[in-house]
Amino acid sequence: MAFKLLPLLALSSFHFYLIFLTSSVSLTIAGLHQNQNKHGKGHAPPATTCDSKKNPSHCKYVPPGHYYGNNIYDNGRNSVKRSLAHSHKFLNLVDSYLQSPSYYSQSTVRALQDCQLLSELNYEYFSTCFSTVNQSSSVLPYSQAEYIQTILSAILTNQFTCLDGLQTTASDPKVKDDLSVPLLNDTDLHSVSLALFVKGWVPQKKNKPSSSSKGGKNLGFHYGRLPMKMSKPARNIYEHARRHGRKLLQTLTDITSVVISDIAVVSQDGSGNFTTINDAIAAAPSKTAANSGYFLIFITGGVYEEYVNIDKNKRNLMLLGDGINRTVITGNRSVSDGWTTFNSATFAVVGQAFVAVNITVRNTAGPSKRQAVALRNGADMSVFYSCSFEGYQDTLYTHSMRQFYRECDIYGTVDFIFGNAAVVLQNCNIYPRLAMSGQFNSITAQGRTDPNQNTGISIQNAAINAADDLMSALQNGTVVKTYLGRPWKQYSRTVYLQSFMDSLIDASGWKEWDGDFALDTLYYAEYENRGPGSGTGNRVRWPGFHLINATDADNFTAANFVQSDVWLLRTGVPFLTGLI
């Protein structure tokens, strides 16, 4: 996880915004709407649309022509349209630098490549958003509103990821300076677009009641914690694939409850269709529709030393391994070796509706190499089931969009579950490891930068125990403090629900990032946890820390936080919709 950029971020609010507006005459939103109807959501006084934002002044001073409509929907459309234009302009700027990569250091080129990928996504996201708001002047259906709020939230995340990479990795000062100013200005504009969308198009949420209802059908894969053994249905799929290659499997619907369009086998001994995972991914169809089913890639047991990348065009892809510690994907990139945190990942996925089952992903850079990501996930409606993620600092990068993890093992030391997705981790094993001398462990470092983002980390029914190396050190008297999390960004949000916490968890529970940074704007909460480390009598007394009741906890269940009922059923992965 990148270091916090206090000096630069301190300038990212109104001062940079005024620089952007020096050639324009400022006017207030309120002044444009003195005579509008004060009743109804669509006619709320525009000045109130940013009351919940961290910088309300952004909404009061705008360029001529930015807001000129008669209601919030006109203003929202104009804001999104302006953000769309700026995102395209910034993408062109990044592309112009990459036309002559030999002029810059390798670390700068890597940071620019991150920005290019993220900017391409932002332009596509804004195009989708504008198409939606341009056709509607009323509150959207729940699932559609959640999706648009999700991509607008991801846009802000992408902006800060680009900025973090430039500031911490790029070594060319001119590139940093030339890109940081428009990047920060655009981020302010995009934040306004998000605020207006939430105010105008998002319905008031009505949470489903607490329940123990379960979702997911019998996928046919082995659901138990026996990673060394493949289930009979999975073996049937594998044997069928060996015999018939990538032919359409007419009988597969009799084996599993999910729809499979085609199948490929990866085997290092040459007996499958491919010997590398990336070759199989490249062969998968692009931009497939959800109703076409999953393209299934079965990865036989073995250690695959490759950097797996599933780009935005590879949708509805399912990877099935031979089991945890049998199918292993491994790499060793790190920030210390010149990579950005973003592109240090051994496994990176952006393609929508991705599913992975029975796979281990490792980053073996080690504790001394600082940030070294095993999995980076920016795929909307993505699922990891019965997988293991192994690293030290920054193991699991839940970067953006909506994600779900079930019965996974997660190993790490510093901030090893981090990012700014809307993510639920359910029934997972969390294993803090032995940190370097003088280091503490922090399980989470959530990166929410705006209160209108629908993001956060929800950890439900987890088991938090020391990994073997940490357990041995603790038993021998070594003092290593382990915390539930610390605030990476201003509006960091993390909750622990109904989880087991062993005695390694420090009594204070949570760790500050830098003095009093974010302590009054974060949202950290605990509900009905158990175990010797779950006691709340000596927890931190920050304004943003809460001991919540069932009603508040329901906000962070799979049904309410990631809309599990809308998309998780088709994956076949079991899940709990509400509280236990």
Alpha helix segments (H runs only) across 13-105? 14-20, 29-32, 57-60, 72-98
- Band the pLDDT of 172: cuts 50, 70, 90: confident
This prediction has a pTM of 0.86
Q: Is the pLDDT of residue 214 over 90?
A: no
Query: Tens digits of per-residue pLDDT, 6-58?
Result: 333 333 333 333 233 222 222 223 322 332 333 333 433 444 444 444 445 44
CB-CB contact of 171 with 107 (8 Å): yes
Q: Which residue in the block uniquely carries the two structure tokens 């700068």? A: 108
Surface-to-core class of residue 455, CB atoms within 10 Å of its CB (0-12 exposed, 13-18 middle, 19+ buried)? buried
Measured distance CA(327)–CA(320) in Å, rounded: 9
Query: Where does residue 217 rank: exposed (0-12), middle (13-18), buried (19+ CB within 10 A)?
Result: middle
Provide the pLDDT for residue 314. 97
What tens digit of pLDDT does each residue of 300-355 get? 999 999 999 999 999 999 999 999 999 999 999 999 999 999 999 999 999 999 99
Query: Strand, helix or coil at 261?
Result: strand
How far apart, in Å, are the Cα atoms of 467 and each of 182, 435, 540?
44, 11, 25
First to last CA, the chain: 32
Residue 390, phi then psi, degrees to nearest 5: -125, 125
Buried b (16+ CB within 10 A) or exposed e, 276-286: ebeebbeebee
Task: Please give the pLDDT value at position 251.
Answer: 34
Between CA 78 and CA 60 the distance in angstroms is 15
CA distances to 61, 193, 489 from 45, rounded to whole Å, are 15, 16, 30
Mean pLDDT computed over 201-215: 68
pLDDT of residue 291: 85
User: pLDDT-based confidence at 556, cuts 50/70/90?
Assistant: very high
The catalytic site residues sit at: 415
Residue 417's beta-bridge partner residues?
396, 444
Number of helices and strands (H, E) in the chain? Answer: 14, 28
- The answer, yes or no, to whether residue 235 has pLDDT greater than 80, is no
User: Residue 250: what residue type?
Assistant: Q
Residue 271 banded pLDDT, cuts 50, 70, 90: confident
* Over residues 364-387, mean pLDDT: 97
Q: Are strands 575-576 and 214-215 parallel, antiparallel or unpaired?
A: antiparallel
